[in-house]
Amino acid sequence: MTEALKAVGCIGLEPDLLLVYGPVRCHLGFPPWRLRYTEIIHMGPLKFMRYGSLRKAIYKFTMVRQNYGK
C-alpha cells in the first residue's frame, strides 16, 4: 500500500481518511489491515460523486473517536 500511495504522490505517513470510489467495495488486492489508523469510506461510483456526499464523508470522519486500546 505504501508503494501505491507513493505512486499517486502521497509522501509520508498513512492517510487518516481513504475514500474508495468504484461500483464495488474493493481494495484492489490491498489488505486494509495494513492501514492501521486509516478510516476507509466507500463512496460508490465516481460518476455519481457529489459535493454533498464528500462533505458528509468528511463530517462523519471528524466525528469518529479512535480507541487505541489499553
pTM strictly above 0.85: no
Provide the pLDDT for residue 6. 75
HEC string for the chain: CHHHHHHCCCCCCCCCEEEEECCCCCCCCCCHHHCCCCEEEEEECHHHCCHHHHHHHHHHHHCCCCCCCC
Q: What is the pLDDT of residues 13-60, one digit of tens each?
A: 777 888 888 877 776 666 666 667 778 888 888 888 888 988 999 998
